[in-house]
Structures are given as C-alpha cells and as structure tokens.
Structure 1
Amino acid sequence: GLGLLDSQNRSRFHPLDALGLAKSRVVWTWRELGGFEKAQQAYPYATHLLLPDIAFQTGPFWNQGAGFDPPPKLMVDVLLFLRSDKESKYREVRRNDTILGQLLEDSRKKLIIGTAGHPPLENSSLTSSADPLTFRVVDWKHRLSMEGISSDPLNVASAVQLLKLGKVVICDRLHAAITAYLSGVPFVYLDQSTGKVSKTLAVAFNSTGFEHDCQDGTQHMWAKALNLPEAMDKALAMMQTLKL
C-alpha cells in the first residue's frame, strides 16, 4: 500500500528493508494524551501526532444562518444530551423526568438563595416559581424524529439544530460537546465511564492554533461538572450570567 514493493521497486529492496521503510512512513494521530504516550512506547518506529479531535475541523457553525436554527416551539431552558448506552453514568436517571425536574428546581433554589461567590438573585426570570424551568432529554437519534429538524443523519445542520433546542446544554457525549462549542451554544459537560470527554477537550484546548484563552470556560461558555446536580447548578448559573 506504500508503493515499496510494486513491480518497479521489487528488485531494489530486500523485504526486511522494505518493511523497515514502510514502518518509518506510518503516521498515527491521537486525540488523548494517554493513548499518545502509550503508542510512542509500543510503536517507536512510527510518527505520532497529538491533535484535536477531527470533529473540530467541521465548524464553526455560529454564523450559518436560519437553516441551523430549530423550531422555537421545541426549545427549552436546559437540554440534557445524555447517553443511553453502557458508557453512560446517568442511564437510569435520564429516564426519570420527576427526578430531573426536582434536580433542576433544587438548583434554582440554590441560585435564588445564593452560594459562596454567587450573591442571591434579584430581578431575574429564574426567581419566578410561577414559570417552571423546562428541560428535554435527547440523544443523537432524536434528531431523526423531531418535527422541524432535518431527518438526514449526515446533515450537520440537524445536529446543530438539536443542540440549539436548549438555552444551555448538559452533555456526556464528546461530539455533542464539540458541536456545542463550534455552534456557540453554552454547555456543561459530564464525563462518561472512560473520561474521554475531558481527555479529548484538554488536548484540543491546549493545541497550537486554538485561541490562547479557549480554556477560559467563562469566556467561551463551557464548564465541567463532576455529577448531574452540579451540572444543573452550573447550567442555571450560565443562564443567569449570560441573561438567557
């Protein structure tokens, strides 16, 4: 496949020499530091590059126009973009709207009262218990069945539309976090079982070519949470700070 043993070159290379040359041409890319370091030890003959996940090259999407906006009637305050597979830490709770609604209201109460570093809310839409906070639980498959959202699974617009259903997104899917970042959608991310969301974003935000301050979550509208209640707290804090 590397053109070393074709009809013209076969007589010029001993098979072992050709194999050595072929190995020297192998280039592997890695999106996590751990895999990059292990591969350097296991395959020292190859070239290894630590790069942002290739999905970052698909955007940005924040200036794509109305075709990337979802139907207003479907929009909610908090979009819970949570996995339903074995990698999820929240597979059971994502099915329980009662628990999720209570977590959201608990976070609002904490925000109203005020916590360390955050004064009590005044004159905010979040303080009105007459207006319950709205939420929706989704995963990628839902963009194929929602009225008003493109049903083409290869259409990037449908992914952006799905994420824009929420004023703030809480997600444990890596590419939901990346797409939210590229779309200018505020998001709070949770790690799934392997921690790949944190590991991959750390590489991207430390890479040459990204803005020097992209690790500033306050400026770039992202945050990390260790559990779902903390994610709810941070999502509502974002809504307040950004006046959403």
Structure 2
Amino acid sequence: MSTPAPLADLVMQSRDLLSDVMGAAPTVALLDFPAYTNAGDSMIYLGEMAYLDALDRQVGYACSIRDYDRGALRARVPEGPILLQGGGNFGELWPHHQQFREQVIADFPDRPIVQLPQTMDFQPGAALERTRELYARHRDLTLLLRDRAGAERAAEWFPHQRVEFCPDLALGLGPLAPTRTPTHDVVLLKRTDKESVNDAAALNCGNHTVTQSDWELTGDTESRWNRLEALGGLLSLNRFTRRRTVGIHQRLYDQQANINLAAAIHNLSQGRIVVTDRLHAAVLAALLGKPVVATDNVSKKVSNIFRDYLGALPGCYFAEDLAEAGQIARTLLAPSGVPLPL
C-alpha cells in the first residue's frame, strides 16, 4: 500500500523531531494510556508505538491514570525520558488528565519529560498560572503541540520549556485498508460530548444514504474490551499487584487500543465518504483513502490542524458547518465525479 507524499513527509518530520527530543536512551516510559473507548486516542497511542518501534526505542513502563505507580516507573525505567500521551486534553477542558500530567511532572523534577503532541485549551486565569508555575520549576520538560498556533501560544506562556510543533502522532499508523464494502453513501461520525458544536439535523445530503454514529463499541466487541478493562482493574487493586503485572498491563493496553481501532475502521468502511467533527475520524478516513469532510469542534482543533497539515492529504475537505458539509458531500457523490478543489 503506497504512502501519499504529504503523509510520508509528515511522518518523517515527526520521526526526526521525536528522535531529537528523546535523546539516545534506548528505553522510555509512556504514561496516560487512554483506557476508554475513544478510537481517536487509541490511534494516537498506536501511532506513538509505531514511531517508537521505528526509532528502536523500547517501552519499559506504560500506565493509564488508574495504574500509575511512580515506584514501578523508577524501578523499570531508572533513567531516560518519560513520555506523556498526546491528544487533546492539555488544559482545562479535561482536568483529570491535566492533573495527572502535573502530578507526574512534580514526581520527577529531574527526569527528562516529553509531552507528546497535544492541543492546548488553557484560558488566561488561575489554572494556567498554576500550571506555568509548576512547569517552570521542572529542569527538562519539552512540550510538543500539534498545531502551529498552539505552539506559538505555548512558547509565550511557557518560556522556560522547550516548545516544538509536531504533527499528530496518529499519522504514524500510515495507510490502512477498509474492512468491508460500503453500504451507505455517507458516514456521519459526530461528537456527542461537550466538544460538539454542530446539530446533525443541519446535514442535508439529498437523496444519498447517511448513517450516523460516534466512536462506540457494541456486542461482542464491547464485551471483549470490557473484559480486558476489568482484568486491568483487578491487576491494579494494590501496589503489589501493580508492580508485578506491568508487562501484562502493557499487553492489555495494546489489545484494547487495537479493538478500538478495528471497530473505527469497520465503522468508517461502511460509507463511500465520511463527514465528521472528530479530528481522528478525519485522520482515519484519510488513512483509509476515503474522501472526508471535516467540521470544527469547540476548541477549533480540527480547523487548526486542517489548516496546518491535514488539508494537504488527498481527499480532505473542510466545511464551516454541517450545512456546508452536506453541500460538499453532494458534490463528491455526484454522478459526474468531478473532484472539488482542495
């Protein structure tokens, strides 16, 4: 399966930067595994693992928020960088993850820590000032931002840290193959959480068939994921079991992430094109070679990343809202097959 040149360029850019910020240490720790059914965060995790494999780095310790044990981290990775999961929870919108990130930074003031590419959603105020003060005390903290505007703002707000722009690491998955023949013209994958700003009723695709969903697991797939999550919970009941089962946890994480990714591919494969307000549904559609029309979320991360690099991938379009997305979808599905200008 060939890799489009724009994607290959983004992957190489990220790989070179990761090699630089991690240094020469052969073993790393990777914290904040996304132990939930959001396929986008699973894509980021699997992309991170692909980059680490390509760079010949071993993950000596991995954990979710629930499984974190600083003693186990010190024992298994006594030196070398601590990597914090990338995504969209750097700031105030998802405080639980930001609190965990700050706990790790406080626990390891002398270790190199790399925050993998994030979207930042701080507003000027007490939360930002508290984070700035904590981060300024750390001796070797690198912040990677996955959009250029965020990187510029972070460089201003966190002047004591190294700040770099780095594309979203889910792109490290590379080209993927659909797993079924389309049964609908359009898959509308729409957020149902607090980041949503669109009304699904605004999408008008004319006579074309539309199926709507969000990231989700159902049936046997959901049961498999829940069994893995329950097992992980049992292994985290106390410090003794957490420290003796770190390797098992890492295998569970890989299985959970791959279940989420497989379900997401199966979902998007049912449409000829994809319309979405989820960043990683747009990324996944592009990796599957499907035309995709993206709209924004509350933090504008979709439009920022589309402008910076996602829009350079073949078949990617941006709409200001779902009404415009419907117009683009109808054009893409027209019998003439005339492509839209990018």
Q: Give TM-score scaled by structure 2 length.
A: 0.45
Q: Structure 1 residues 148, 80: CA separation in 2 closer, same or farther (over 3 Å shift)?
A: same
Aligned to 2:160: 45
- Superposed CA deviations along residues 110-159 of structure 1, whole A, max 9, x for unmatched, are xxxxxxxxxxxxxxxxxxxxxx4211111001xx2278999755222221
The runs of 5 or more residues in structure 2 that have no matched partner are: 1-107, 113-134, 226-255
Aligned to 1:154: 257
Say whether 1:77 aligns with 2:152: no
Greater share of strand residues, 1 or 2? 2
How far residue 198 of structure 1 moved from its aligned partner, in angstroms, is 1.2
The runs of 5 or more residues in structure 1 that have no matched partner are: 5-18, 63-67, 106-131, 206-213
| Local SS of the residue matching 1:28 | strand
Aligned to 1:34: 149
Aligned to 2:295: 190
Written as runs of structure 1 = structure 2, the 5 A alignment for 1:16-165 is 23=139, 25-62=140-177, 68-70=178-180, 72=181, 75-90=183-198, 93-94=199-200, 100=203, 103-105=204-206, 132-141=207-216, 144-145=217-218, 152=225, 154-155=257-258, 156-165=261-270
Q: Partner letter of residue 298 of structure 2?
A: S
Say whether 1:167 aligns with 2:272: yes
How far residue 60 of structure 1 moved from its aligned partner, in angstroms, is 1.7
Counterpart Cα distance in 2 of 1:77 and 1:151: 30
Say whether 1:177 aligns with 2:288: no
Q: Structure 1 residues 89, 242: CA separation in 2 closer, same or farther (over 3 Å shift)?
A: same
Q: Partner letter of residue 44 of structure 1?
A: P
8 Å contact from structure 1 (residues 145, 151) kept in 2: no
Q: Tell me the number of residue pairs that the alignment of Structure 1 and Structure 2 aligns.
A: 176
Counterpart Cα distance in 1 of 2:279 and 2:165: 17
| Local SS of the residue matching 2:272 | strand
How far residue 20 of structure 1 moved from its aligned partner, in angstroms, is 9.2
Say whether 1:201 aligns with 2:306: yes
Q: Structure 1 residues 182, 151: CA separation in 2 closer, same or farther (over 3 Å shift)?
A: farther
Q: Partner letter of residue 179 of structure 2?
A: D
Greater share of helix residues, 1 or 2? 2
Q: Partner letter of residue 59 of structure 1?
A: G
| Local SS of the residue matching 2:257 | coil
How far residue 104 of structure 1 moved from its aligned partner, in angstroms, is 2.0
- Superposed CA deviations along residues 18-44 of structure 1, whole A, max 9, x for unmatched, are x99962x32110012232112212222
Structure of higher RCO (CA pairs closer than 8 Å, 6+ residues apart): 1
The runs of at least 4 aligned residues of structure 1 exceeding 3 Å deviation read 1-4, 19-22, 146-153, 241-244
Q: Structure 1 residues 173, 146: CA separation in 2 closer, same or farther (over 3 Å shift)?
A: farther
How far residue 184 of structure 1 moved from its aligned partner, in angstroms, is 0.7
Counterpart Cα distance in 1 of 2:221 and 2:210: 18
Say whether 1:232 aligns with 2:292: no
Q: What is the aligned-residue RMSD (CA, Å)?
A: 3.2
Q: Structure 1 residues 21, 232: CA separation in 2 closer, same or farther (over 3 Å shift)?
A: closer
Q: Give TM-score scaled by structure 1 length.
A: 0.62
Q: Partner letter of residue 170 of structure 2?
A: A
